[in-house]
Amino acid sequence: MSNCTLIVNGNDITEKNYVKINEDYAELPFIAIMSALGAEIFWQSTDIVEVIYNAKNYILNTTECSFIEMGKNINLFSPPPGGTRYYKTLENEFILDSVTTIGAFQLMKTSIKININYDKKIITINN
What fold does the segment set 5-126 form as a domain? Copper Amine Oxidase; Chain A, domain 1 (3.30.457)
pLDDT at 105: 94
* Distance of alpha carbon 2 from alpha carbon 96, whole angstroms: 14
Q: Is the per-residue pLDDT at 97 higher than 90?
A: yes
As a whole number, the mean pLDDT across the chain is 94
**Of the candidate ranges 48-52, 82-86, 87-91, the one whose mean pLDDT is the lowest:** 82-86
Q: Is the per-residue pLDDT at 51 higher than 90?
A: yes
Q: How confident is the model at residue 2 (pLDDT cuts 50, 70, 90)?
A: confident
pTM of the predicted model as reported, rounded to 2 decimal places: 0.94
pLDDT at 79: 82
- Average pLDDT on 119-124 reads 96
Q: Is the per-residue pLDDT at 26 higher than 80?
A: yes
